[in-house]
């Protein structure tokens, strides 16, 4: 006997995947999550397939992929069609973007740190933070 896929209510799925209930509904409206079957009363009923898909999405989001990138990755992942190169392209593109942001933030950090550090907290006439912005 195969283990039956257990049925989950929306809130349970949310908890299982670490996502807000409203977020699931949102993913459904934009077509990222499939519309699940319902109880006679209209409540959504999910199973393990949904849990895995939602977890996939959440991990993608945590790695900074946009929802559209996640959408593309989901298609490539199911049923692992297309080429690995396509996946690599998306990830590499994203990596480039991450590195760009990293460089920006690093520069930012040193500027802010320097100006905050040289802030003597007393007269506002020559505040290094404001001076930086003033010119």
Partner DNA sequence: CTTGATCCCGTAGTGGCTACGGGAGGCAAA
Partner DNA sequence: TTTGCCTCCCGTAGCCACTACGGGATCAAG
| Residue ranges that bind DNA, judged by CB under 7 A | 9-12, 14, 20-23, 25-26, 39-44, 61, 66-68
Helix (H) / strand (E) element for 40: namely none
Distance from C-alpha of 129 to C-alpha of 118, rounded to nearest angstrom: 9
Residue 56, CA distances (Å) to 7, 12, 34, 62, 104 in order: 19, 17, 14, 10, 29
Comparing CB distances to its own copies, the nearer of 9 and 55 is 55
Comparing CB distances to DNA, the nearer of 41 and 123 is 41
Residue 35 has a CB neighbour count (10 Å cut-off) of 9
Could you tell me which stretch among 5-13, 15-23, 26-34, 108-116 binds its own copies (CB under 8 A)?
108-116
Site string for its own copies, 22-51 (x = CB under 8 A): ------------------------------
State the minimum distance, in angstroms, from the CB of residue 34 to its own copies.
17
Comparing CB distances to its own copies, the nearer of 21 and 127 is 127
- Reported as half-sphere exposure (CB side, CA atoms, 13 A), residue 67 has a value of 11
Distance from C-alpha of 46 to C-alpha of 99, rounded to nearest angstrom: 37
- Structural tokens at position 68: 């559209």
Binding residues for its own copies, per CB under 8 A?
52, 55-56, 59-60, 63-64, 73, 76-77, 80-85, 87-88, 90-92, 94-95, 98-99, 101-102, 105-106, 108-109, 111-113, 115-116, 119-125, 127, 129-130, 132-135
């Amino acid at each position: 006997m195969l283990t039956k896929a257990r049925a989950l209510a929306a809130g349970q799925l949310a908890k299982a995947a670490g996502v807000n209930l409203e977020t699931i509904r949102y993913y459904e409206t934009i077509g990222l999550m499939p519309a699940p079957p319902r109880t006679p009363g209209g409540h959504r009923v999910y199973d393990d397939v949904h849990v895995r898909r939602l977890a996939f999405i959440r991990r993608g989001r945590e790695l900074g992929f946009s929802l559209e990138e996640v959408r593309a990755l989901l298609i490539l992942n199911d049923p692992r069609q297309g080429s690995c190169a396509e996946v690599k392209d998306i990830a590499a593109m994203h990596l480039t973007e991450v590195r760009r942001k990293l460089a920006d933030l690093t520069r930012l950090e040193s500027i802010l740190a320097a100006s905050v550090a040289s802030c003597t907290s007393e007269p506002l006439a020559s505040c290094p933070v404001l001076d930086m912005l003033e010119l």
